[in-house]
Amino acid sequence: MKMTLAEIARVVEGEVIGAADAVISGVAPIDEAKVGDITFVANRKYAKQINTTRASAIIIAPQQWEIVGKNLVVVSDPYVALGKLLKLFYPLEHEQRGISPEAYIEEGAIVSPEANIFPRAFISHGAKIEKGVVIYPGGYVGRNVSIGEDSVIYANVTIYHSCIIGKRVILHSGVVIGGDGFGFAETGKENVKIPQIGFVQIDDDVEIGANSTVDRATMGKTWIGRNVKIDNLVQIAHNVVIGENSVLAAMVGISGSTKLGRGVIVGGQTGMVGHISVGDRVMIAADSKIHKDVEAGKIVGGKPQMPYKEWLKVEACRTKLPEMKTTIERLVKKIEDLEVKIDKHLK
């Protein structure tokens, strides 16, 4: 593909500074770009490479950096613009076209002839697969599952029975949707299993990273809202609700019946207890442990959680603990010596 800077500017809603007729044939990192490539700067630490890159053009925010002899496309968010261009220049190609005769489709399944089903995919009876859906080898679709238009189910994804997958959902390899929630009575004694009879609902435009799991509800539904983005190795327990546009980084664990609002951002390796509520637009620092409700708009961190600025102060002290311990021990010794002197004086 080749595009002029003027055409690119229209796509990313930016403004050209320089040669609008310059032809671009690829997108590359700033230190690897060559003539004909367009690159981007989204972080100020890369600004020093602006004058040395060989790229024919740079996507940049409206900053006051001094730039000599470079074609620019000025946008409000260079990273968002980069995403648009990568989709344009390097569209995802699914090699399979149509339904492979080597796919196993049970009687009673409804599969659109416009779906792309790879060999060794398994689709159970009662399942409904809409047009544009791609299911890679090893994909298992349980009975009465529905998958909306243009969703992509990568290799070895398992979707248990009765789950609902929306449109344009992406499930990466190893994802398990609708496994039983962790429900047991008399834990530590007989460990009696509580049947998990609910389901999972995943709304449109959700993406879930490799080897993540979303458990079915005990009753009712586990619900992942529209445009939620979930990283690899995330565990979402039964009856959890995650509000639209939220983002969960890798290795997050959310216990049963916890509810996240809209636009929540959760750092990696964060754990949450069950039956709590996290409000809209909350931000949680990585490796936090959330043990109680968090009000909307708050920024928290630490284990247990605390206001973010307070947590930063605690962390700043952590490396000084050995020195502080020595100081405290010295002060305690001085106080003990002083008490001995006072006792002798009183006697």
**Residues designated catalytic:** 238
Tell me the pairing of strands 259-260 and 241-242: parallel
Q: How far apart are CA 215 and CA 313, in angstroms?
A: 37
If we measure between CA atoms, which residue out of 28, 59, 18, 25 comes closest to residue 42?
A: 59
Residue 182 carries which DSSP code? -
- Determine contact, residues 161/143, Cβ cutoff 8 Å: yes
Q: What is the dihedral of CA 337, 339, 343, 346, to 10 degrees?
A: 120
Q: What is the dihedral of CA 31, 33, 39, 44, to 10 degrees?
A: 10
- Write the single-letter amino acid at 87: K
If we measure between CA atoms, which residue out of 260, 228, 224 comes closest to residue 245?
A: 228
Tell me the pairing of strands 71-74 and 116-117: unpaired
Helix and strand numbers (H, E) in the chain are 4, 39
Work out the number of other CB atoms within 10 angstroms of the CB of residue 6.
13
E strand or H helix at 170: strand 170-171
Q: How far is CA 223 from CA 169, 189, 242, 256, in A?
A: 14, 31, 6, 12
Q: Tokens representing 269? A: 């390796």
- Determine contact, residues 141/159, Cβ cutoff 8 Å: yes
If we measure between CA atoms, which residue out of 61, 68, 27, 26 comes closest to residue 42?
A: 61
